Structure 1
Amino acid sequence: MTQPTPARGRLDASLARLACAFRGMVAHPDDSNCECHWGSAEELALLKTPDVEVDPDLLRRTYWTGDWDFPAEMLRRILPQLATALTSGEVERLGGMDHAGRTFALGGWQRWPAEQSTAISEFLDAWWAVTLTDPDAEVPAHVVLAMLVEASGALGRWLDAWTTATTALAHQRLAEAFGEWEYDLLRDDLPWHTWTLTDDEEEVLRTELTAWLLQHAPTRLRMADTDPELPHRLRLLGLTGPARWDDPHWPDLA
């Protein structure tokens, strides 16, 4: 049996801490939603009952819904189960990572009592460490990063962690992520969808991501087993106008 990595042990501990910190939480008694589009009154009642695990479909419909009247209470109710679904890859397989990020953002968890907000922060940090350093990470780094940015409203803390993760696997994860981002970035677009950010805020993130890549990625891409064109595409991000699109390595973006 493969021994768990230190990052995996940290993640397991953070999930246990979440379960303890949010034990007994329930949705707000006055919260409701459309039975035609969301679910039944009986299902809503389950969310107002503490410590009852909900089935995966009810969990999915709950975090996909962005119009709860009391989003903080709803996030507290589903958080331990949602965190496990995130790290197992279940949420990603259903295509709901951005919806889950929105649920965190709407919940305003950074303003919660310290015991709760610290438990969430540690979970997000631990999950990111697994994503970057554990060979059995269930969700690709570019997918996790987009969710973390939505959930936290910040990009720099996650890039800082990637800067200090200097293993061959972390380099490979960066190459894979840039391979997903390159065409959007060459169009000067943020390479993921957001729910809660303005266009100006998205532009700030794109600029921050591009600057970080230009500083930290060139050497790491060369060290990774990757498409030999990727370093050239990265170099193009440092150019503007005709210098970029007239370069012989400019890709066909059609």
Structure 2
Amino acid sequence: MTSPALASALRRVDAVFGGTTAPAGGCLHCYGAEELALLAVPRAPLGDELLLRFFHKVPDHFTDHAATMRRLLPELFALIASGRCSGIAAPTGLGRTAWRSWPREQVTAIEGFLDVWWRETLADPEPPYGVGTVWELCVDMHRSLTPVHDVWAAAPRGGIEDRHLGDWVAYRIDDLLQDDPFVLPWDMDGEALLPELQTWLVEHAVPRLADHPDPLLARKVALLALGEEERWVAYSELIASAG
């Protein structure tokens, strides 16, 4: 069941974007003309499968990519919020637009939905899509780590949010220690963003993981503050000391 806060965010998205249209032109190799024609019909339901196919295509597949994304948002965000979307993943069409340059009410509506969806995912012991998936989608759509991580950093210590952080870090720690940029959405500049992610984890994850079942996890995260050579020497010593 959609929460009151998420329902309110969806109503705001619908009030701002509902009834918008986009030019019916696009890639006829990927879509039929009758599918593209639906974009020009206000509020014509697209259905889950076509909606997601539209949402994940690169911009040159549409006559007006930004308009297409605006046309999709009410139905797309409602699908996401329902918890029944099994095919959404990064990269996203919204992340491939400069949506923060759109009119303020449109920016606010998008920000509002993403913020509530992320907060409720973190607070849910068993979120429908998994925290790692929602983290990647939100980072991709924001094209930034900051609004996503600010929510995590502000969460109370010792709660469900910390458990989710521990699970995510435990899954990704080997990649992070190897400076693998593909811990980030693949079409973002992982090389540039990875140091920001590692720095944030050292500052915020280390204290939150003090009580993690794996006593080495927080200490491994702390190694991200070190340069490559120094890190692997310290890592070897850490593993050796653990016996």
**1:177 alignment counterpart:** 168
Offset of residue 203 of structure 1: 2.8
Moved over 4 A (4+): none
**1:32 alignment counterpart:** 26
**2:55 alignment counterpart:** 63
1:154 lines up with 2:154 in the alignment: no
One-letter amino acid of the structure 2 residue matched with residue 59 of structure 1 = L
Offset of residue 250 of structure 1: 5.6
Offset of residue 219 of structure 1: 2.1
Offset of residue 193 of structure 1: 2.8
Alpha-carbon distance in structure 2 between the residues aligned to 1:192 and 1:134: 23
Alpha-carbon distance in structure 1 between the residues aligned to 2:120 and 2:73: 19
Given the two structures, how large is their TM-score scaled by the length of structure 1? 0.83
Which 10-residue stretch deviates more, 44-53 or 139-148? Answer: 139-148
**2:200 alignment counterpart:** 212
1:227 lines up with 2:221 in the alignment: no
Given the two structures, how large is their TM-score scaled by the length of structure 2? 0.87
**1:133 alignment counterpart:** 123
RMSD of aligned residue pairs (Cα, Å) = 2.2
State which of 6, 14, 18 in structure 1 corresponds to 2:13.
18
State whether residues 22 and 79 of structure 1, in contact with CA within 8 Å, keep that contact through their aligned partners in structure 2: yes
Query: Percent of aligned pairs with the same residue?
Result: 31
Alpha-carbon distance in structure 1 between the residues aligned to 2:206 and 2:112: 30
- Partner SS state of residue 214, structure 2: coil
- Partner SS state of residue 178, structure 1: helix
State whether residues 24 and 51 of structure 1, in contact with CA within 8 Å, keep that contact through their aligned partners in structure 2: yes
**1:245 alignment counterpart:** 232
Runs of 5+ consecutive residues of structure 2 not aligned to the other structure: none
Alpha-carbon distance in structure 2 between the residues aligned to 1:250 and 1:143: 30
One-letter amino acid of the structure 2 residue matched with residue 60 of structure 1 = L
**Residue deviations 1:198-233, cap 9 Å, x none?**
4xxx23321111111111112211234x43332232
State whether residues 236 and 250 of structure 1, in contact with CA within 8 Å, keep that contact through their aligned partners in structure 2: no
**Residue deviations 1:101-121, cap 9 Å, x none?**
xx1122321111122111111
State whether residues 109 and 117 of structure 1, in contact with CA within 8 Å, keep that contact through their aligned partners in structure 2: yes
**1:119 alignment counterpart:** 109
Runs of 5+ consecutive residues of structure 1 not aligned to the other structure: none
